Structure 1
């Protein structure tokens, strides 16, 4: 995993480990598919998705992320 997304991935993992879904014994993959996530975990999930997507988008890799 590239280091640019590692911190977000670790934060998402920590956040998900504190959810009732993970504490009931389900895997992180099963819990991410469910919609009953915390607001903070949802924000981290979106940030991780955008980070991974920006690695694939050549325009973003060359120009950098857009700031409005």
Structure 2
């Protein structure tokens, strides 16, 4: 995994591990993210999506990730 998105991915994984969806051990991480049961992790999910999408956009590759 590229280092630019690695920190966001780790934070998302830690946040999802704390949710009730993951603690029940009946669903996978992918299923919990798809179903949208983890409202508290939506900001991190969106940040990870934007990071991965930015790797495909050549303009963002040259300019680098946005820092707010």
Q: Calculate the TM-score normalised by the size of structure 2.
A: 0.87
Which residue does 2:48 correspond to in 1? 48
Alignment pair present for 1:5 and 2:11:
no
Which residue does 1:38 correspond to in 2? 39
Report the secondary structure of 2:11's partner residue: helix
CA contact (8 A) 1:19 1:38 kept: no
**C-alpha deviation, 1:36, in angstroms:** 2.2
1:2-38 CA distances to partner (integer Å, 9 max, x unpaired)? 0110000000000001100001112101100112212
Aligned length: 67
CA RMSD of aligned residues (A): 1.7
